[in-house]
Structure 1
Amino acid sequence: MAKKMGMELTKTVYKLLKDMAKVKPGESVLVTQDSIGDVSVGEEIVKVADALGCKAMLAWHSTPKGYGALTMDYLPDPLKACVIETDVWIELNDQWLLYSPIWDKAVTNGRTRQIMLGGLGIERIYRNIGAVDIKIQEEFQTLLTNLTKEAKNMRITNEAGTDISFENDPSRPINSEIDYSKPGAHFLLGQIGWAPKEETINGKIVVDGALSGGGDLDLGVLSESITYIVEKGRIVEFKGGKLAKKVKEYFESLDDPNMYLAAHVCYGCSPNAKLEGCTTEDERVWGSTEWGFGHQGPNYTGGEPRIAKSHVDGISLECSVWLDDVQILDKGKFIHTELKELAKKLGK
């Protein structure tokens, strides 16, 4: 049956599997999808994977409440078993299995390529993968990653009031999300993420774009900003109105000191991303930065995960960034000469 954007979806999924995940005949490809989302993308992935000679399965299951470890009580045992026994696991879940105990095992087993595309429907996956020039995007992300690796001290601000400084740890990886061909944790392209030295993170993070923590904390696009006061990598105070109060109460309800610890910071650099309330896409809005608190994956430290009950992501829009006092981003626009030229090629 002909469907709207059906051809675009097929081409996008082919690019995802063949060019980015580099699947091989005989490999197993598992797609997980909770019942709240549109299953069309998952169906297309398993069909194209099968056509490419893979052994493909779609695991469509009931929707958990919350993210990470909070999902475990809602998942069937067969699902828990199969995610660590596959070559490629593509997660389309609205309520993320990301940062759960089974995710930790999958991304550290030396076999599974876990690709987190949570909540992406047809239009979102097309504009953020299918419609992106992968070659130019990879050049942009590689340059931005390398510049960041070379920086010891960083500062991020925005017009909403963010002003946060920190030091990078040269021994920790910086993850540029675009190549899904190796075992481990992978995310939608258009993001570069890393974990600074937690004890050096000090200042104010104003979340004025979107915020999500799963379940009751899926706030989506914000009607008012939420401010974190951060000292030595830990949230010590929440400021703002009713939404800030709701976030504060949620953190308190989990009764987990690790929830207040910074897990990562990320650049948003997807040329087509829109702020619409889907965190996977929201985090990649061009010129934004995003901070995660709570569970910290091994992909950010290069070692063991730091366990927490869940994970909360908040997005700051139109940021300015300094690398060792050299400004590369100004109110959401890249001003570094080479980055600026590549941005133009991407339509930014």
Structure 2
Amino acid sequence: MKSAELQRCARVAIEYCGHVKPGERVLIVTDTMRDFSVAEALMGAALAAGAEPVLTLMPTKRSTPQEPPPAVRAAMAEADIAYLYTTYSLTHSSARIEAQKAGARIITMPGVTEDGFLRTLSVDMNTLVRLTNKLSTRVARARSARVTTALGTDMRYELEHPLAIMDGVAAEAGDLDAFPPGLFLSVPSLGKASGVAVVDGSITQIGRVSTPVTMRFEDGRLKSIEGGNEAARLSTLLASLDDPNAYEFAAWGIGTNPGAALIGDDPSFEGERVYGWTHVSTGSSAALPGGTVKSKIHLDGIIGAPTVYLDDELILEKGKFVAEFQS
């Protein structure tokens, strides 16, 4: 039963999301810590679509962002579409950017488990794509955003840049998307993200949060971190990098995938997609539209049940979209 569902979701990934056509060169990149069943299912679905798939296995690199080995980099640039199914993200790599500029469609899949693949690609994709794009269109028109939560989050952003729309579909040459699908990413104007973010979900490379982590931002920089064990670990991690740009505010977004959940030891990438939840990011933003900051790291902090205003108009209340976005 699970095998059949995995094959069905792989077909969604290849045919609906990737728009893979007969004869196309499909590259599937994975590493030694991933569920090989997902890579094999993608391979099988690509073959069934008449494509020419290649599956590459690389060593796991414990960093975000990371760069793949030279042979994988070269293969990415030659592919029509590449599925980057790795433990740690290749989204912010120069290899991804180069492949995209060469015309490859890119779908990144960092940290995706077999169960996560099944949960987040079994949803009604037409509804998810419609909501993600409708929400993104509204955010793209806005000049400001405010995000609050009952735990004390109160972040304000000034907006001017285009968005990264992660609806899961990479149909045109040079498109970038990601699995799980269901998210927009917005880079605020440089230095124009300020306030308090109380992270109660998870943090990249830290994992699930047992005690909320309070992150204070001023003029686009992380100024303080307070909380329990996870806050201390985050402070230590950032200090160990010796990288001032690790403290720069990178991006924020809202999730739109009803199948996404905070499951596992480090669920932040899927956590960004949880329906009606938000996140804050620090570190590298150069790989995102409007982003200019280069850093050794890109960290996401997941925040549950937010209330969000765009230009003082309510669009999300305690994690529930207003009626405009429910149709």
TM class by shorter chain equals over 0.9
Q: Which residue of 2 aligns with 1:286?
A: 275
Q: Return the letter of the residue paired with 1:197.
A: S
In the TM superposition, what is the alpha-carbon distance from 1:90 to its structure 2 partner? 0.6
Q: Does structure 2 retain, via aligned residues, the 8 Å contact 1:152–1:167?
A: yes
Q: Which residue of 1 aligns with 2:191?
A: 199
- 1:148 is aligned, of 139, 144, 165, to 139
Q: Does structure 2 retain, via aligned residues, the 8 Å contact 1:29–1:87?
A: yes
Q: Does 1:241 align with 2:228?
A: yes
- SS of residue matched to 1:307: coil
Deviations 1:56-78, CA, capped at 9 Å, x for gaps: 11112221121114xx4xx5432
Q: How does 1:110-149 map to 2 (within 5 A)?
A: 110-129=102-121, 131-149=122-140
Gaps of 5+ in 2: none
Give identity over the alignment, percent.
28
Q: Return the letter of the residue paired with 2:33.
A: I
Q: Which residue of 2 aligns with 1:55?
A: 52
TM-score (norm 2): 0.93
Q: Return the letter of the residue paired with 2:324.
A: E
CA distance in 2, matches of 1:123, 1:232: 39
Q: Which residue of 2 aligns with 1:345?
A: none
CA distance in 2, matches of 1:78, 1:140: 38
CA distance in 2, matches of 1:242, 1:16: 38
In the TM superposition, what is the alpha-carbon distance from 1:223 to its structure 2 partner? 1.1
Q: Which residue of 2 aligns with 1:79?
A: 72
TM-score (norm 1): 0.88
Q: Which residue of 1 aligns with 2:81?
A: 88
CA distance in 2, matches of 1:96, 1:174: 16
CA distance in 2, matches of 1:89, 1:103: 9
Q: How does 1:324-335 map to 2 (within 5 A)?
A: 324-334=311-321
- SS of residue matched to 2:191: helix
Q: Which residue of 1 aligns with 2:323?
A: 337
CA distance in 2, matches of 1:176, 1:92: 16
- SS of residue matched to 1:258: helix
Q: Does structure 1 retain, via aligned residues, the 8 Å contact 2:132–2:165?
A: no
Q: Does 1:24 align with 2:14?
A: no
Gaps of 5+ in 1: 213-217, 343-348
Deviations 1:159-183, CA, capped at 9 Å, x for gaps: 22110001110x4235242321121
Deviations 1:96-152, CA, capped at 9 Å, x for gaps: 222123223223x141111012222332112211x2112222221222112212221
CA distance in 2, matches of 1:77, 1:325: 48
- 1:313 is aligned, of 300, 304, 307, to 300
In the TM superposition, what is the alpha-carbon distance from 1:228 to its structure 2 partner? 1.3
Q: Does structure 1 retain, via aligned residues, the 8 Å contact 2:163–2:184?
A: no
> After the TM superposition, which of the residue ranges 186-195 and 78-87 deviates more from structure 2?
78-87
- SS of residue matched to 1:306: coil
RMSD between superposed Cα atoms in Å: 1.7
Q: Does 1:226 align with 2:216?
A: no
Q: Does 1:323 align with 2:288?
A: no
Q: Return the letter of the residue paired with 2:64.
A: Y
Q: Which residue of 2 aligns with 1:346?
A: none
CA distance in 2, matches of 1:45, 1:311: 27
Q: Which residue of 1 aligns with 2:289?
A: 300
Deviations 1:1-57, CA, capped at 9 Å, x for gaps: xxx511111111111111121112221111111111211000111121122121111
Q: Kindly tell me: are residues 150 and 191 of structure 1, through their superposed partners in 2, closer, same or farther at Cα, counting changes over 3 Å?
A: same
CA distance in 2, matches of 1:77, 1:329: 44
- SS of residue matched to 2:168: coil
Q: Does structure 2 retain, via aligned residues, the 8 Å contact 1:230–1:236?
A: yes
In the TM superposition, what is the alpha-carbon distance from 1:305 to its structure 2 partner? 5.2
> After the TM superposition, which of the residue ranges 77-86 and 233-242 deviates more from structure 2?
77-86
- SS of residue matched to 1:82: helix
In the TM superposition, what is the alpha-carbon distance from 1:252 to its structure 2 partner? 1.4
Q: How does 1:156-175 map to 2 (within 5 A)?
A: 156-169=147-160, 171-175=161-165
- 2:260 is aligned, of 273, 276, 301, to 273
Q: Does structure 2 retain, via aligned residues, the 8 Å contact 1:238–1:244?
A: yes
Q: What is the total number of aligned residue pairs between the two structures?
A: 323
- 1:44 is aligned, of 16, 41, 45, to 41
Runs of 4+ in 1 over 3 A off after TM superposition: none
Q: Return the letter of the residue paired with 1:158.
A: T
In the TM superposition, what is the alpha-carbon distance from 1:289 to its structure 2 partner? 0.5
CA distance in 1, matches of 2:308, 2:135: 12
Q: Does structure 1 retain, via aligned residues, the 8 Å contact 2:91–2:287?
A: no
CA distance in 2, matches of 1:242, 1:122: 29
Q: Does structure 2 retain, via aligned residues, the 8 Å contact 1:17–1:49?
A: yes
Deviations 1:187-221, CA, capped at 9 Å, x for gaps: 12111111111322110111110111xxxxx2222
CA distance in 1, matches of 2:143, 2:108: 29
